[in-house]
Structure 1
């Protein structure tokens, strides 16, 4: 093992273990709604528990088992996470979420919108695009492909914000308390600027 790996194991592993222990305790002792942010990074919302890959790996059912035990979530929120994994992996992730979601529970996903009519936007967010993080983007969803992923994973689809094939923007009222999305029509000031930045926002509901 290299010196760098040794140092990383000493410095980072205890912190990650402590965070995991604290998160597991919060989930185990939760009595109200159990609402989970996926790929939170530093995001932290009231009444939501943030997770990152160190404590919840979307592609590993054992990671869900370890974190949730016999608990199930009311809601999952993932803002600009799913564009970083392949379509096949998205199906795995959504099925794993489904297993640990209560009946009637919801997964809310926001990703870059592949039907956005502004070519500058597309060039920024497409895989290999010039926008922040786009070098790691695996695909560019539109409302059809993201809806299909939800349906293949056993969910009923609810479209919140999206562009259609004709470049027409659609908005259906949604509540920030049910999963706040910063990069959205309501909360991203760029929506009314020349770039017109927005996200494709879709929910999957477990019946």
Structure 2
């Protein structure tokens, strides 16, 4: 199968020529009719990526978005999601990203995810979840070495320029949902 990669909410971001870029006006991830119009039959995509998008989606639409991603991914496909991390121990970070926070776009945030909430919601859609980067309840940061093949996440331990000299200035909760 030829790789078909979709970046949701990324038309202004250059994710590489192999990625189809979309915005809400072309693809509302919660509407199966939008997926059908753009991609036809289900099981057509190898990768879907959404960097700092899911926190802007209301609960019921998130459930539908997770299910649509699962349905349109081919077997073995990956959904990579990055969102602000609600377990980050830095109080300034939390103030910046919380629902109604002071950061850019936070006025539209609907939820501040933690790894366990994100994992549970993706598993309900059928995904097997791999945690790539996250803070736990005890203020410990966890990460695995992941590749950009599943999607390049700029706001990550590896790529965010605010992370320097061993200090984490900005990270995201990053997960892969795998369709087995």
Please state which band the TM-score falls in when normalised by the shorter chain. Answer: over 0.9
- Whether the 8 Å CA contact 1:121–1:195 is kept in 2: the answer is no
Q: Which runs of 5+ in 1 are unaligned?
A: 1-30
**Structure 2 residue aligned with 1:15:** none
TM-score normalised over the length of structure 1 = 0.82
* Aligned partners of 1:118 and 1:195 also within 8 Å: no
Kept after mapping to 2: 8 A contact 1:39/1:78: yes
Q: 1:176 aligns with which of 145, 148, 162?
A: 148
CA distance in 2 between counterparts of 1:176 and 1:45 reads 10
Whether 1:151 and 2:120 are equivalent positions in the alignment is no
Q: Select which of 161, 164, 178 maps to 2:136.
A: 164
Q: Give the Å deviation of 1:34.
A: 0.1
Corresponding residue for residue 40 of structure 2? 69
| Residue of structure 2 equivalent to 1:10 | none
1:188 aligns with 2:133: no
Alignment of 1:16-165 (within 5 A): 32-46=2-16, 47-70=18-41, 72-165=44-137
Q: Verify the 8 A CA contact 2:56 2:109 in the aligned structure 1.
A: yes
Bigger RCO (CA 8 Å, 6+ sep): 2
- The alignment covers a number of residue pairs equal to 177
- Runs of 4+ deviating beyond 6 Å: none
C-alpha distance in 2 between matches for 1:37 and 1:75: 8
Q: Contact 2:7–2:49 at 8 Å: present in 1 too?
A: yes
SS at match of 1:97: helix
Task: Report if the CA contact (8 A) 1:115-1:165 is conserved.
Answer: yes
Q: Which has the higher helix share?
A: 1
Q: What CA distance in whole angstroms lies between the structure 1 residues aligned with 2:55 and 2:24?
A: 15
* TM-superposition CA deviations, 1:62-102 (whole Å, max 9, x none): 00000001361000000000000123221110101111110
- Root mean square deviation, CA, Å: 1.4
Q: Structure 2 stretches of 5 or more lacking a match?
A: none
